[in-house]
Structure 1
Amino acid sequence: MSSTKAPVIALRGSGGPKSLAGSVIKPAFSVVDLFSGAGGFSEGFRQAGFEILAGADNDPDALATYALNFPDAEIILGNICAPDIKERTLSAARSATVLVGGPPCQAFSQVRNHSRVIDDPRNALYREFVETLREALPLAFVMENVTGMDQMGVREQIRADLSLDGEYEIVAQVVDAADFGVPQTRKRLLFVGVRRGTGMSPPVLAGSGAADSIALARFTGSRRPRYQLTVQQHILSLRIGEALQDAENLIAVSAMQAISDLAALPVGNRNDEMSWEELAGPTSAYQRLMRTGAGNVLTNVQVPRINKDTKLRLKGIPQGGNHRDLEERLLERFLTGQRWGQDNGTGRLSRKHFYAYRRLHPSIWAWTLNTKADSVYHYQAARALSVREFARLQSFPDRFVFTTDSRRGPIEGRHDGGPAHSRYRQVGNAVPPLLAKSVAQLLMAELNTYREREEVRARTG
């Protein structure tokens, strides 16, 4: 009795071969994340159904977080310019369907000194991303960076570098995370590329338009300043305004809808975990989404203490306000006799402190988070935010735990500031997972269509 084997094809980076006889086994498409940090890009792609093969970064604390949350991924710690790290990275990237990353790049401020961004020695990490792309030739890639790269003709230089002389078709666009259900305004420049000759098209993200439709307006008068939402008067903006007020709608998410269930977190608690029984129940669809799969305890809940002067100032700042709303008496450098920070000699707050006195407004998304715990304060309580609240505002699910390398003291790649600061920095530097997921879902659709065409071609010869 003779038997005929079904033909087998293997799509590069698609998880290996699959039989075309009977039911088709459809393995996950895969991702390698360069300059991964804690793994915001990877988390978004994982939520969209991709397999995460590897994360590479030179920050040991961020990669400790990555390893904890992606236990099946290869962890590549070190400088990608070093030969051994470069080889490990290339080996992983050659197996991936999609290469993602956000290489540190100061290109937009350096065009004056070099004819091309990629030639500037200070942009070595960006150059390594391009070279990894050239060597691995995945079916698709996504590179993100600051919107400053959109200045002075840099966008077209980057597009030309990443196209690899026409190997990739590329779309570049500026997006705001708030338009994709992230409770934070955060603008990024995305380059999305797909291999030519595959029949795929690089997807263009179409967000809700929330960030351009709604804003906070400051009102002054006989009373203290106050802030309230203003909505553009056209039908789309009005609908987004309605969605933002609806706690069950995920199109646009406010700070209160993101973190109100964590309002009672105690300040100065040394324990970084709390049981759910100690916390309020979820009051929005977003909170329920974030809690999915979180287990029996919530992590990263420590709230740092703030000094007495800061508490007094926060009580004088309305929801959504900042240093501009402080009364004259609260602009004195030291208010209670407690000495903190460097004395600038003027007896007044210096400008470098002004960014810190920003309070969330409960009815709109957060401002852009940076890497410091004092970059934004709670809309209700006169306190800083926990790492978990930072993570919620970045759209990291509660099951995603932030940690640090267990080794003590200075180690290669570690930033100064200690474990607590490292966790805030990891969150603040990350790509919001829901933004990454939006890109990943569109790429998944293109890749699935490509795979189906390849399967038909293999069957028909």
Structure 2
Amino acid sequence: MRKPACRPGSRLRYRANIKISDEQDKLLNLSLAQREGSEYLLKENNLLGSLTQSRNELRVIDLFAGAGGMSTGFLMASNSKKSFRVIGAAEINPIYVKSLEKNHKFFEENAKNRANDCCPKEFSPIDLKSQNGRDIIKNVVDREGGVDLLIGGPPCQGFSQSNRNSWSPDNPYNKLVDIFVKCAIELEPKVILLENVQGILWTPKSSKRRAKDIGVVDYVSQKMIDAGYVLFPAVVDAAWYGVPQHRNRFFLLGLHKSLGYSVADFDEWGAFPKPTHGFLGKRHYVTVDEAICDLPEVANGESRLIQKYQEPNEEKLKANPFLMRMREMAPRDVIEGHIVSRQADYVINRYKNIPQGGNWQNIQHMINNYRDISRTHSNIYRRLKLCEPSITIGNYRKSMIVHPEQDRGLSLREAARLQSLPDWFTFCGNLDDSLPGGIMHKQQQLANAISFLLTLAIAEYILKL
């Protein structure tokens, strides 16, 4: 069992798997004195209900929306006739915008018991760095009479330490977090939800000497506190919520003070749902085998876009809640996107010598094209284990992640399943890598996506507020 990072009373405190210093604790309004001084903690079934008491549909704006993974989780959430309506979504990449539009329109046309206006009507690339781009979103909010939730996952290249070449306090992508903050202050949502890699926690705001001691999270938190939000930071593993993948992500959830909540109104998980899977939950982790067992066997370089499922028997399918969720609303007999990048013969030969759970270290004698193999990340050439959740799925082709049983890389649909993205969820682009929107673009869209079931769990919890 994984243990807390530090004992109660030590200088670093453990809160929902996030270590924070006393200084951060004070900044984020999470002091033990405030929490322990309260007479009681409100339980899940006894929250104030101040967010949803005035309307049945909460209005959502999705910033840096990508293909729509985060907002899809909110669209799928519903509770006692209450739900979310995505009134606007901002994404700058034209190919991603096409995916976003296709996925939102499919949901709107096929979801049962949902109004046909739960998704945006207009989709076009929006550059939030420009005032014009932010004005487009502001006009949407004004037209709708306000916004209840502002969600978004700004690009993480500058915060992610899995890529040593892009991690930097001065990476221009880091400034997009400032854009999220600016939009939150301008739009005044009741709730904010910011997602990013956990590396954002230890990234300074700037490499300049006077700014080195100011972290990105400290900066964002102070801005949001000044704007009137009670903040709840957490690092959570997607596997805790039924995603067949260990994927640690940082979330900052803010509730506007007008809602009447304080930190003392919640238990140790703050304004986040308690885990449902693994050692913290009541259900076992969803494994790779459970996630992909119905997908047909394919070869290296498979390019057929539409294929038939490899059907498990009906009884076995019903016993797998994850598969039932993934196939809901999708065509019953065929699967789309089960395509595989073609790898050279020498790469396939390397795959053949890697056992389940193994990685590049099992084939060091076969690798002669790496300048410094000692600096290679442990997940390079990682063959997945069937009986466990997957490792973190980034750009799985670049990482050379290997299928647990077949000597090939993962297919796009297998990787999407491991992200818990439903089978109807698609990524636009041509299959020819030489054309804009090729399979590499599809793979990058998936790498940028937020795990659907994790977002769904958070969205369903917010509906209780």
TM-score calculated relative to the size of structure 2: 0.70
1:392 to 417, 420, 428: 417
3-state DSSP of counterpart to 1:360? coil
- Structure 2 counterpart of 1:67: 101
Cα contact 1:118–1:127 (8 A) shared by 2: no
- Structure 1 counterpart of 2:136: 88
Question: Are 2:246 and 1:206 equivalent residues in the alignment?
Answer: no
- Structure 1 counterpart of 2:320: 284
Q: Residue type matched to 2:102 in 1? A: L
- Structure 1 counterpart of 2:32: none
1:380 to 405, 416, 422: 405
CA distance in 2, matches of 1:265, 1:145: 33
Q: What are the within-5 Å matches in structure 2 for residues 102-251 of structure 1?
A: 102-104=153-155, 123-151=174-202, 153-163=215-225, 165-200=226-261, 203-208=271-276, 210=278, 213=279, 243-244=283-284
Q: Residue type matched to 1:42 in 2? A: S
Cα contact 1:45–1:436 (8 A) shared by 2: yes
- Structure 2 counterpart of 1:270: 303
Cα contact 1:261–1:279 (8 A) shared by 2: yes
1:318 to 337, 347, 355: 355
3-state DSSP of counterpart to 1:29? strand
Q: Residue type matched to 2:256 in 1? A: R
3-state DSSP of counterpart to 2:390? coil
Deviation for aligned residue 1:305: 2.3
CA distance in 2, matches of 1:207, 1:33: 24
Deviation for aligned residue 1:350: 8.1
Q: Residue type matched to 2:123 in 1? A: I
CA distance in 1, matches of 2:86, 2:430: 21
Cα contact 1:272–1:299 (8 A) shared by 2: yes
CA distance in 1, matches of 2:431, 2:417: 25
CA distance in 1, matches of 2:181, 2:459: 20
Q: How many residue pairs are counted as aligned between the two chains?
A: 364
Cα contact 1:170–1:194 (8 A) shared by 2: yes
CA distance in 2, matches of 1:118, 1:371: 22
- Structure 1 counterpart of 2:339: 302
Residue by residue over 1:322-371, the C-alpha shift from the partner in whole angstroms, topping out at 9 and shown as x without a partner, is 1112273xx243xxxxxxxxx56x7x968559743111100110001112
**Inter-CA distance 87–405: structure 2 relative to 1 (3 Å threshold):** farther
CA distance in 2, matches of 1:40, 1:309: 35
CA distance in 1, matches of 2:451, 2:417: 10
- Structure 2 counterpart of 1:449: none
Q: Residue type matched to 1:272 in 2? A: L
**Inter-CA distance 182–406: structure 2 relative to 1 (3 Å threshold):** closer
CA distance in 1, matches of 2:237, 2:192: 20
Cα contact 1:98–1:142 (8 A) shared by 2: yes
Unaligned 5+ segments in structure 1 are: 1-11, 19-25, 110-116, 214-235, 245-251, 334-342, 447-461
Residue by residue over 1:114-156, the C-alpha shift from the partner in whole angstroms, topping out at 9 and shown as x without a partner, is xxx9999764322221111111111111001111122264433
3-state DSSP of counterpart to 1:70? helix
Deviation for aligned residue 1:188: 0.9
**Inter-CA distance 160–421: structure 2 relative to 1 (3 Å threshold):** same
Cα contact 1:322–1:357 (8 A) shared by 2: yes
Moved more, 181-190 or 152-161: 152-161
Cα contact 1:76–1:85 (8 A) shared by 2: no
1:253 to 278, 286, 304: 286
- Structure 1 counterpart of 2:462: 443
Question: Are 2:426 and 1:401 equivalent residues in the alignment?
Answer: yes
Higher Cα Rg, which structure: 1
Residue by residue over 1:263-302, the C-alpha shift from the partner in whole angstroms, topping out at 9 and shown as x without a partner, is 41344333211234x6555472211211111024321111
Cα contact 1:262–1:280 (8 A) shared by 2: no
Unaligned 5+ segments in structure 2 are: 1-49, 78-82, 106-118, 161-167, 205-214, 263-269
- Structure 2 counterpart of 1:451: none
Deviation for aligned residue 1:321: 1.1
Residue by residue over 1:42-68, the C-alpha shift from the partner in whole angstroms, topping out at 9 and shown as x without a partner, is 011111131122221111111111000
Deviation for aligned residue 1:33: 0.5
Which consecutive aligned stretches of 4+ in structure 1 deviate over 4 angstroms post-superposition? 105-109, 117-122, 278-281, 348-355, 405-410
Moved more, 49-58 or 30-39: 49-58
Q: Residue type matched to 2:71 in 1? A: S
